Amino acid sequence: MIIQADPQSGKDTRGIPLEQVGISRVRYPVMITGWDKKTKTQKEVEGLFDLTVSLAAENRGIHMSRLIESLHHWEEPLGPESLQSFLKELRRKQNAAAATMNCNFTWFVNQPAPESKRPAWQGISTTWHATQSEDDGGNGYTLRIPVTTLCPCSKEISDYGAHSQRSWIVVKIKWQADAKFIFPEEIFQKLQHAGSSPIHPLLKRADERHVTMKAYEQPAFVEDTARHAALLLQGDSRISNFRIEVRNEESIHTHDAIAIFNSGKVSVGDFR
């Protein structure tokens, strides 16, 4: 076999460095840890990865295959304590000044019914985020938490009943690599109560009565849910860097209602 020259390893004379070059939406099995307080808990999940590194102005391109190789040969569970080590390996293989990673996966939590206590698994969409440069690094995660919201206006003007809908609290939290880690489980447990009622995958009749009455007793606009969620996080001294988006999938409209709160340290363009 004759090996042809590799143009990708050549030099570039246009003088344009690129902040991020790499691969996106790569599905790959990976061991995940660090979601809950049981730090030894590990699960194999299907991760959806974005992996990028920086490219110096004088270099034509990166070796995309090395990104997959790094992922394939990574032996540690991927979690808060290993994110920076993983990025260090990406940088080493590409001789890059910086690297970034997003890994989306579903983590299942036991969410028993409120009255009957029947157990059931509820999937929470989670993304690990990490960035690293030669002199800095940061980690983070995004959670997509389902809740029920019941419209206060509908309750006030109706002779009986009120419309409710499924809502989503999407929260992104970031911290410096050397900062104290806050388990996603803790954030989920806080924010599932920010709407009118938590959502449960399994409900018997007594449970159904419980959640519908709870929602009726705690009506919330999309604005209320966003503010409640923000106050719950602001009340935790360990958290200073977060962004919240609440989205109501309106049951009496064809559009969604949204409300966003930014702690001031996570930019709009930085949220995904």
| pLDDT digit string, tens, across residues 241-266 | 999 999 999 999 999 999 999 996 54
- Cβ atoms < 10 Å from Cβ of 253: 11
* pLDDT band for position 25 (cuts 50, 70, 90): very high
Q: What is the pLDDT of residue 177?
A: 73
Give domain status of residue 6, yes or no: no
Specify if 78 maps to a domain: yes
* Structural domain includes residue 140: yes
The verdict on residue 248 lying in a domain is yes
E strands along the chain, which residues?
A: 18-33, 42-55, 99-110, 121-132, 137-150, 164-176, 197-198, 242-249, 256-262
Mean pLDDT of the chain: 92
Q: Which residue has the higher pLDDT, 10 or 90?
A: 90
User: In the predicted model, is pLDDT for residue 271 greater than 50?
Assistant: no
Please give the residue range of the domain that contains residue 250.
Answer: 19-270
Position 203 in a domain: yes
Give the per-residue pLDDT at 100. Answer: 97
Identify the pLDDT of residue 176. Answer: 81
pLDDT band at 269 (very low <50, low <70, confident <90, very high): very low
Instruction: Read off the pTM.
Output: 0.90
Q: How far, in Å, are 7, 9, 18, 119, 152 from residue 4 at the CA level?
A: 9, 12, 26, 59, 69
Higher pLDDT, 103 or 136: 103
Is the pLDDT at 6 greater than 80? The verdict is no
Where do runs of H (alpha helix) occur along 95-218? 152-157, 184-191, 205-217
Q: What is the percentage of the chain residues whose pLDDT exceeds 90?
A: 81
* pLDDT of amino acid 1: 58
Distance (Å, rounded) from C-alpha 231 to C-alpha 223? 12
In this predicted structure, the answer to whether residue 11 has a pLDDT above a threshold of 70 is yes
**In this prediction, what percent of the chain has a pLDDT beyond 70?**
93
Residues 106, 47 contacting (CB under 8 angstroms): no
What's the number of domains the chain is made of? 1
pLDDT at 168 over 70: yes
Decide if 2 is inside a domain: no
Q: CB neighbours of 205 closer than 8 A, spacing ≥ 6?
A: none
Q: Domain of 39: which CATH number?
A: 3.10.270.10
| Residue 11 in domain | no
Instruction: Please report whether residue 61 resides in a domain.
Output: yes
